[in-house]
Structure 1
Amino acid sequence: MRRNLLKQAGAVLVLAAVLAGAWAQDDHPVQKRAFELPPNADLSYNLSARQGGFSLSGKALITWRAGDGKYATTAESRVSLLGKITENRSEGAIDSYGLAPAEFYEKRFRHDATTSKFDRGSKTLSFSDGDQTYPLKGGEQDRTSVTWQLVAQARAAGDKLKPGTRWAYFVAGRHDADPWIFRFIKREKVSTPAGEFDAWHVIREETEAVKGQKLDIWLAPAQDWYPVKLLFNDDGKDYVEQSVEKITKK
């Protein structure tokens, strides 16, 4: 499989591709917004992909738990023949920004696991893979938590959301962190194995560094704004698509 697309698939499950670009130490793209955490749930997805001319299919699972001032979320994907190809975990606290990750774990197929640490005491973000560090200023996310931060803030915004709304985040990956910008496109009908949903179509905006690598997410307001579909597209050739088949509230 192509390395770039597997890297993005890991993020989804949590949502994942890097919006690359330089970030100055004295800049910070995050703004405080109201948030409303969704109910605890397990979300199962059908996964389909095209990689190097080969078609693949499998399953993906996302779990979301929050309570007592803490949260934990996991995401993993499996495909036929290869088995598990991505595994992500994020856990931390709830603060005035929303989710405040303490640790992000990522394991990709045929790669060593990595951990990103959010040290609130020293206010430093660091990585097991590399020496890069960033100051923590509030609101930072990782590739798994950012999906749920987006969901929580969209739930709070509700009917105030308008097409063209843009929200910026600062997101940690395996060995560095970058700004991500999500833009709300429009509400539309989306078909999934679990049925048809009225959903907000949200995209991650591209930069020159990730030109051609696209991420689309569909959030369903009537389903507590859970992500009911995600699509990663690499240069219009390879893709990974996840469509929800079951939502189980816990």
Structure 2
Amino acid sequence: MPSPSPASRQHRSPKDTTSRRWQLGRWAVVLLAVLGLHWSAGQWLEHSRIGFEPPAAPPPVQIALLKPERIERQPVSPPSLSTSTSARKPVRPRSNTSTLSATPSTAKPTASAPETKAHADTSTSTSTSDQTSETGTTTGTATGSASNPHNPTASAAKAEPGVKFSVPPSGNLEYDSYYNGVRNPPGTIRWSTDGHQYRIAISIPLPFVGTYQYSSHGQIDAFGLAPEQYIEKRGRRVEDITIFNRREQQIVFTRTPTRLALPDGAQDRFSMLMQLSALVRGDPDAYQPGVTREFYVTDSDSGEIWPIQTIGDETIRTAEGLLHARHFRRLPRRADDTRRIDIWLAPSLGWLPARLMQTEPNGAEIELVWRGQSTAAGANADSAPASIRSPDPAAVSPDSLYNRP
């Protein structure tokens, strides 16, 4: 088929050019009309913006960073001197018995009875006045000692300033256990303290790998909980032990020959949980959203700073119903840290943990949700598992702890 000649192509070109220009002109008119409508709408919204103004944004959170510091310690009131004096000094028998026994058996009842009663009354009043005199003298002495600034006992009774700290009461706590949302046998936290020492044992059953068990015990010192020994046993693995040797001010491990300096306020993974609970329990208003407290926390082979931030108050669902709780979260410790720990403390439980969740780097979630308190709550330290009843760690040689390559 013959192709169009050049003259034919030149003859059709002006028509095509005119049509294209006409189309472009129409589109330009449409575009101008749309822009005009948008401009009109914008002017209308500008004049009516008061009715559509969004609510003011909340002020930015003021983040406060709290470092480990000494806790406030109230003085122990000395025992009452009057009580101790009366305990050491038995009350001397008065003349009641001697008067009655000295009454002649041949005496007339009418004459002896009033006399005996009179002697008894006199003896009773004398005893009362003597005891009152002793009590008054002791009270005056104690008051004078307390008011005397040069008295060492009075100066020792002054409170030591610091952050508020209130140790939670002992209890055997039960939790529903979940792994990736699947319910498992209940987990437990056994916590006991007498105000001077503490013990905590945690049991978390996990499918296929066995039960994870953690335990910690130690003293309560000027910085709060002061662990002496931390034991970690994951499933069927051999347990790892961390020793806080306060005599040499070192932290030593059975898993590694590494030794770390022991700073004030150092915690293990689970004493930190109760340390946080005691701090919040002592001063709940200090932990507002954004407030972050740092803890030096040791594991089974290392130690690092854990920044625990207050997220805010939330309502969580438990086996006993809804619980109001305060949410805390461990912030990333470094740029590549993807493991997360979330803690919820409930005021209705004395600020004990109501929910715990650890999110692993692979996305797996291990969770404990409050289930209740067992009838064995308040058990003493002797009921702790044998694994956490150990000799004084200060007396253990650090070299004897490292028993594996």
- Please give the secondary structure, in 1, of the residue aligned with 2:281: helix
Runs of 4+ in 1 over 4 A off after TM superposition: none
Per mean C-alpha deviation after superposition, the further-off stretch among 120-129 and 233-242 is 233-242
- Correspondence for 2:141: none
With over 3 angstroms needed to count, the CA separation of the structure-2 counterparts of 1:61 and 1:209, relative to structure 1, is farther
Task: Tell whether 2:182 aligns with 1:144.
Answer: no
Task: Tell whether 2:186 aligns with 1:59.
Answer: yes
Q: Which amino acid aligns with 2:327?
A: H
Q: RMSD value over aligned CA atoms?
A: 1.9
- Correspondence for 2:327: 201
Higher strand proportion: 1
Distance in 2 (alpha carbons) for counterparts of 1:118 and 1:165? 28
Q: Which amino acid aligns with 1:94?
A: I
CA contact (8 A) 2:179 2:206 kept: no
Q: Which amino acid aligns with 2:69?
A: Q
- Correspondence for 1:116: 242
Task: Tell whether 2:171 aligns with 1:41.
Answer: yes
Q: Which has the larger radius of gyration?
A: 2
Distance in 2 (alpha carbons) for counterparts of 1:177 and 1:136? 10
Task: Tell whether 2:198 aligns with 1:71.
Answer: yes
Q: Which amino acid aligns with 2:256?
A: G
Flag structure 1 segments of 5+ consecutive residues without an equivalent. Answer: 1-28
Which residue of 73, 90, 100 corresponds with 2:226?
100
Higher helix proportion: 2
- Correspondence for 2:69: 31
With over 3 angstroms needed to count, the CA separation of the structure-2 counterparts of 1:134 and 1:96, relative to structure 1, is same
- Please give the secondary structure, in 1, of the residue aligned with 2:164: coil
What is the deviation of 1:138?
1.2
Task: Tell whether 2:294 aligns with 1:176.
Answer: no
TM-score, normalization by structure 1: 0.82
Distance in 2 (alpha carbons) for counterparts of 1:210 and 1:121? 36
The count of corresponding residues between Structure 1 and Structure 2 is: 218
Distance in 2 (alpha carbons) for counterparts of 1:72 and 1:183? 25
Task: Tell whether 2:367 aligns with 1:241.
Answer: yes
CA offsets 1:25-66 (integer angstroms, 9 cap, x no match): xxxx6333331001101111111113xxx9562321001111
Distance in 2 (alpha carbons) for counterparts of 1:113 and 1:47? 22
What is the deviation of 1:108?
0.6
With over 3 angstroms needed to count, the CA separation of the structure-2 counterparts of 1:195 and 1:233, relative to structure 1, is same
TM-score, normalization by structure 2: 0.51
CA contact (8 A) 1:59 1:79 kept: no
Q: Aligned runs of 1:194-233 on 2, under 5 Å?
A: 194-208=320-334, 211-233=337-359
With over 3 angstroms needed to count, the CA separation of the structure-2 counterparts of 1:235 and 1:173, relative to structure 1, is closer
Distance in 1 (alpha carbons) for counterparts of 2:333 and 2:249? 28
Flag structure 2 segments of 5+ consecutive residues without an equivalent. Answer: 1-66, 71-162, 379-405
Q: Aligned runs of 1:115-134 on 2, under 5 Å?
A: 115-134=241-260
